Structure 1
Amino acid sequence: MSSSSPASVPAPITGTAPATVSLCAREPRVPADRLVAEMVPPPRFDSVRFGTYVPDPNQPSQSEAVRVLEDFAGGLGEAPGTGGGRRGFFGMGRGRAPKTPAGPRGVYLDGGYGVGKTHLLASLWHATPAEPSRKAFGTFVELTNLVGALGFQQTVQTLSGHRLLCIDEFELDDPGDTVLVSSLLARLVEAGVALAATSNTLPGKLGEGRFAAADFLREIQGLSAHFRALRIDGEDYRHRGLPEAPAPYSDEQVTRAARATEGASLDDFAALLDHLARVHPSRYGALTDGLTAVCLTGVHPVPDQSTALRLVVLADRLYDREVPVLASGLPFDRLFGEEMLKGGYRKKYFRAISRLTALARDAARLVDTA
Structure 2
Amino acid sequence: MSSSISARSGSVLSAYHDLVARGALTPDPAQVEAARALDRVLADLMAHRPKRLFGFFEKRPAAVRGLYLHGEVGRGKTMLMDLFHAAVPFGEKRRLHFHEFMDEVHAGIAAFRKSVRGKDDDADPVEAVVRPILRSGLRLLCLDEFHVHDIANAMLLDRLFSKLFAGGVTLVATSNVAPDGLYKDGLNRQLFLPFIALLKEKTVVADLPSAQDYRRLKFAGQHVYAFGAGPDVREAMDQMWLRITGGEPGEPGVVESIGRKIQVPLMAMGAARFGFADLCERPLGTRDFVRIAHQFDSMVLDGVPQMDRTKSDAAKRFILLIDSLYDRGVKLAASFAVPLEELGADDKTAFEFQRTLSRLTEMQSEDYLAKGLRDAAPAEAE
TM interval, short-chain normalised: 0.5 to 0.7
Q: Could you tell me which residue of structure 2 aligns to residue 70 of structure 1?
A: 39
Amino acid paired to 1:331: E
User: Is residue 330 from structure 1 mapped to residue 381 from structure 2 by the alignment?
Assistant: no
Q: Work out whether 1:136 is the aligned partner of 2:99.
A: no
CA 1:137–1:350: 2 relative to 1, 3 Å:
closer
RMSD: 4.9
Q: Please tell me whether the aligned partners of residues 168 and 198 of structure 1 are also in contact (alpha carbons under 8 angstroms).
A: yes
Cα distance change of structure 1 residues 280 and 128 upon mapping to structure 2, 3 Å threshold: closer
Q: Say if 1:142 and 1:282, in contact at 8 Å, map to a contact too.
A: no
**1:106-185 alignment runs, 5 A limit:** 106-129=66-89, 131-132=90-91, 134-151=92-109, 152-153=126-127, 155-160=129-134, 161-185=137-161
In 2, Cα distance between equivalents of 1:76 and 1:286: 28
Question: In 2 relative to 1, CA 51–137 (structure 1 residues): closer, same or farther, beyond 3 Å?
Answer: same
- Where relative contact order (Cα < 8 A, 6+ residues apart) is larger, the structure is 1
The answer (yes or no) to whether the contact 2:42–2:88 under 8 Å persists in 1 is: yes
3-state SS of paired residue (2:222) = coil
Amino acid at match of 2:213: D
Unmatched 5+ stretches in structure 2: 52-60, 110-125, 239-264, 266-273, 307-320, 341-359, 377-382
From 331, 336, 349, the counterpart of 2:374: 349
Asked if structure 1 preserves the Cα contact closer than 8 Å seen for 2:85 and 2:95, the reply is yes
Distance in 1 separating the partners of 2:2 and 2:208: 22
- SS of alignment partner, residue 171 of structure 2: strand
Distance change in 2, residues 1:125/1:331 (3 Å)? same
Residue type of the alignment partner of 1:77: M
- In 1: Cα distance, 2:188 partner to 2:222 partner: 37
In percent, how many aligned pairs have the same letter? 22
Scaled by the length of structure 1, what TM-score is found? Answer: 0.54
Letter in 1 for 2:138: H
Q: Which residue of 1 aligns with 2:16?
A: 53
Q: Please say if residues 113 and 200 of structure 1, whose CA atoms lie closer than 8 Å, have aligned partners that are also in contact.
A: yes
Structure with the larger strand share: 2
- How big is the shift at 1:156? 1.6
After TM superposition, give the deviation of residue 158 of structure 1 in Å. Answer: 3.6
Corresponding position of 1:304: none
Contact 1:110 1:200 in 2 (8 A): yes
Counterpart in 2 of 1:224? Answer: 199
The one-letter code of the counterpart of 1:53 is: Y
- CA drift of 1:154 comes to 5.1
Unaligned ranges ≥5, structure 1:
1-40, 83-97, 270-274, 299-306, 352-370
Query: Residue 78 of structure 2 aligns to a residue in which SS?
Result: helix
CA distance in 1, matches of 2:367, 2:218: 25
Q: Deviations over 1:100-156 (max 9, x none)?
A: 77xxx3201111222211121122222224x22x01100111111221343344542
Matches of 1:348 and 1:117, distance apart in 2: 13
Relative to structure 1, is the Cα distance of residues 113 and 153 closer, same or farther in structure 2, using a 3 angstrom cutoff?
same
Q: Are residues 1:188 and 2:164 paired?
A: yes
In 2, the alpha carbon distance for the partners of 1:69 and 1:122 equals 11
1:284–1:242 Cα change, 3 Å: closer
The yes-or-no answer on 1:207 pairing with 2:232 is: no
- Kindly state the Cα deviation for residue 217 of structure 1 after the two structures are TM-superposed: 3.6
Give a deviation string over 1:27-47, Cα, whole Å, max 9, x none. Answer: xxxxxxxxxxxxxx2344456
CA apart distance, 1:215: 4.3
**Counterpart of 1:64 in structure 2: which amino acid?**
E
Cα distance change on mapping 1:292 and 1:325 into 2, 3 Å:
closer
**Equivalent residue letter for 1:136:** R
TM-score norm. by structure 2 comes to: 0.52
- Matching residue within 188, 199, 215 for 1:238: 215
How much does 1:297 deviate? Answer: 9.7
Whole-angstrom CA distance in 1 between matches of 2:47 and 2:78: 25
Determine the C-alpha separation between the residues in 2 that align with 1:312 and 1:174: 22
CA shift digits 1:254-286 (9 cap, x unpaired): xxx79xx9972279x9xxxxx73xx47775579
Q: Aligned partners of 2:205, 2:70: CA distance in 1, in Å?
A: 7
